[in-house]
Amino acid sequence: MNKDFLLEIGVEEMPSAFMGRSLEDFKTITAQKLQEKRIKYISVDTLGTPRRLVLHIKGLEENQDDALIENKGPKKSSAFDQDGSPSKAAMGFARGQGIEVSDLEIREVAGVEYVFAIKKEVGGQTEDLLSGILLDIINSLSFPKSMRWGYYHTRFARPIRWLLALYGDKAINLQVENVLSSNYTSGHRFLAPEPILVESIDGYFTALRDHYVIVDQVERKKMIWQQVQDVAKNAGGRAMDNEDLLNEVSFLLEYPTAFYGEFSVSYLDVPPEVLTTSMIEHQRYFPLFDDENKLLPAFIGVRNGTDFRLDLVKAGNERVLKARLEDALFFWKEDTQKPLAEMVPGLKEVLFHERLGSLLDKVGRLRDMAVYVGQENGLSTPEKLDRAAFLCKADLRSNMVYEFPELQGIMGRYYANEGGEDSEVADAILEHYLPRFAGDSLPASETGIVLSLAEKLCNLTAFFAIGIKPSGSQDPYALRRQALGIVNIIIDLGLKSDLRQLIGQAYEGLQMLSPDRNREDTVNDLMDFILQRMRGIMLDRGLSYDVIDGVLYQAGGDLSEIMLRAEVLRKFKMASQWEDFQVVFNRSYNLSRKWESAAVRTELLEDASEKALYQHYLQLRPMVEIAVKEKRYEAALEMLAGMRTDIDQFFEAVMVMVEDEELKAARLGILKAIVGLCNFLADFSKVMP
């Protein structure tokens, strides 16, 4: 027999940013606790608004499952004498367990026999267990930040103000601090402030809907998006599709009503990114665009309530936005009065890191590095790179970026264009921050590509040189993200450069700071750190572990080459010659893996098969080497696979591990040489069949 269950934790307004995660946790923790308590159910669902976290369990069994409890007692040898009569120890154990001596069982544990008390625990009634389980669940919920209130010690995201717990139609008693559960809930804070009696779980959902609460976050989100689109359509525009904003808005209200508002066209002089950032970040409005994707002087807000006096709400919001945009316009005018270059000296006042100097110091290092990376890759020109590096941080001194830090780079590009800088230099200012997150776009202009790489290499090298690297979840300088950025840029754009050399060059720029770690250690550590990110990216792209491990450390600091080899290997593993190649490699490798030298004294070779094999090897070597040089890797692998017959005949005809040490050395030498030639592409000992 089962019944549905409902718990509503009534809270003061929860931070919207916590809600998605908290509802997930609430669900997982509940499932886990019910399993621990051996209570079956059909489904667990969690719902929520800013003022309530709701747990809805369908088909919760009325009885806990029975359990077998097995308790280990003394060894059999000390529990019974030779006649099989129980000792005092056995009797004491049985008494302690509350069972008869005759009911003790004997079981073997690691070869020794022990007495066991096996008891069946009859499952209790769910109804009696619920309040304990619920308290446990509530206390297990954790939040990024939690607080205490009043005289209480409980910690929660915000104060708990009421509890409603129903099992079927029966209220379950529960107490958290001074809050006693009941069968009352609350409606919308303003539209239905009186307590509402809830007589059944179905009744709960109806009651909330009748009292202006859409408790299901998915439904609420759909409603909001539908309303926003409708309002946009009426206004002849298209609302910005922004999932984060929609999620946030849906957890800021219980009953949505979207409304249309406008602002003066005069603010459209300000770059659209500024306007949308202000609308989204400050006010949580949806910006509107026309058919040509141009920003309209309008917005869509969503109110927590009905359309009652929506005119007042609209007017109030329009006035607030006007004040915000007035500020933005003021910043734009201030910032564009002087060329961007004049903001650069102010970077002396901005600390990059206490041991790495100011941002101006950093820009100095970046200028050298950008020019160097550009020359190494044959991209852009030294003049453009130096200029872009010089300007790329200047917007951090602007009023606008001070107000909207997320507009860094974006404003720099606008200000550079306003000041008549070369347009590629301006683009590079924006692009040098790319990619900002997984899946973000990569820099497109040559100057942007180089500057982005140089920036990340400078940062990573500097932090590694002073001994700061990410550990566990601690990565305050986003070094992992930057390393990922380097890998993505290099492999996606197919850049050919030796990262070890670039890191070494970046290190040179730090010499005057006398970093703690020397050049070699810094280069090695950072290269390894970047290769680990490379490994992750290769896995994400569907390459298998063994292919990755085979090629990762075989191509030095050239990431594009690593990627190319992995691709070749992946394909070759599916080709018909793969089997032959494997035989060639494995038979050679298995015997010679501990052998050091590939030298072969040919005069000692006796059998025709070994002479033929070695001859074949000598013939192939220059051909393979040329193919490798020309990056015809597949051809080289096919040639090596062609040794299959000779290898097989060799192993059939001769014994390698003979007593004659010299002969053995010659034979192992042949095998070692073949392994060496095979490994031109990858370390095949790591590659799975």
> Which spans of this chain sit near another protein (rule: CB under 8 A)?
12-17, 50, 145, 147-151, 158-159, 161, 178, 189-191, 252-253, 283, 301, 303-305, 308-309, 312-313, 315-317, 319-321, 323, 326-327, 330, 349-351, 354, 358
Torsion of the alpha carbons at 179, 185, 190 and 194, rounded to the nearest 10: -90
Q: How many helices (H) and strands (E) does the chain have?
A: 25, 18
DSSP states of 445-502: SHHHHHHHHHHHHHHHHHHHHTT---BTTB-TT-HHHHHHHHHHHHHHHT----HHHH
What is the β-pairing status of strands 256-262 and 184-186?
Answer: unpaired
The residue among 254 and 431 lying less far from another protein, judged by its C-beta, is 254
Name, in order, each residue with C-beta under 8 angstroms of 271's C-beta and a sequence gap of 6 or more: 332, 410, 411, 414
How would you class 218 by CB atoms within 10 Å of its CB: exposed for 0-12, middle for 13-18, buried for 19 or more?
Answer: exposed
What is the β-pairing status of strands 160-167 and 179-182?
Answer: parallel
* Whole-angstrom distance, CA of residue 192 vs CA of residue 188: 5
Name, in order, each residue with C-beta under 8 angstroms of 155's C-beta and a sequence gap of 6 or more: 146, 147, 148
* Whole-angstrom distance, CA of residue 412 vs CA of residue 454: 18
How far are the Cα atoms of 120, 264, 287, 462 from residue 224, in angstroms, in the given order?
53, 26, 14, 47
SS (H, E, C) 39-93: CCCCEEEEEEECCEEEEEEEEEECECCCEEEEEEEEEHHHHECCCCCECHHHHHH
* Whole-angstrom distance, CA of residue 49 vs CA of residue 255: 9
Strand partners, 181: 163
Q: How far is the CB of 283 from another protein (least distance, A)?
A: 5
What is the β-pairing status of strands 295-304 and 351-353?
Answer: unpaired
* Whole-angstrom distance, CA of residue 362 vs CA of residue 401: 19
How far are the Cα atoms of 122, 341, 451 from residue 418, in angstroms, in the given order?
79, 12, 21
SS (H, E, C) 559-609: HHHHHHHHHHHHHHCCCCCHHHHHHHHHHHHHHHCCCCCCCCCHHHCCCHH
The number of beta carbons lying within 10 Å of the beta carbon of residue 625 is: 13
Q: How far is the CB of 263 from another protein (least distance, A)?
A: 12
Helix (H, G, I), strand (E, B) or coil at 309: coil
The residue among 37 and 161 lying less far from another protein, judged by its C-beta, is 161
CA 220 to chain centre: 28
**Cβ pair 254, 305 in contact under 8 A:** no
| Helices 578-592, 633-641: inter-axial angle, 10-degree rounding | 70
Q: How far is the CB of 176 from another protein (least distance, A)?
A: 12
Q: Which residue has the tokens 């525009």?
A: 237
**Cβ pair 668, 656 in contact under 8 A:** yes
Q: Which residue has the tokens 């304990």?
A: 132
Please list, residue by residue across 26-61, b when 16 or more beta carbons sit within 10 angstroms of its beta carbon and e when fewer do: bbebbeebbeebbbebeebebbbbbbbbbbbbeebb
Q: What are the φ/ψ torsions at residue 70 (nearest 5 degrees)?
A: -115, 115
CA Rg value for the chain: 36
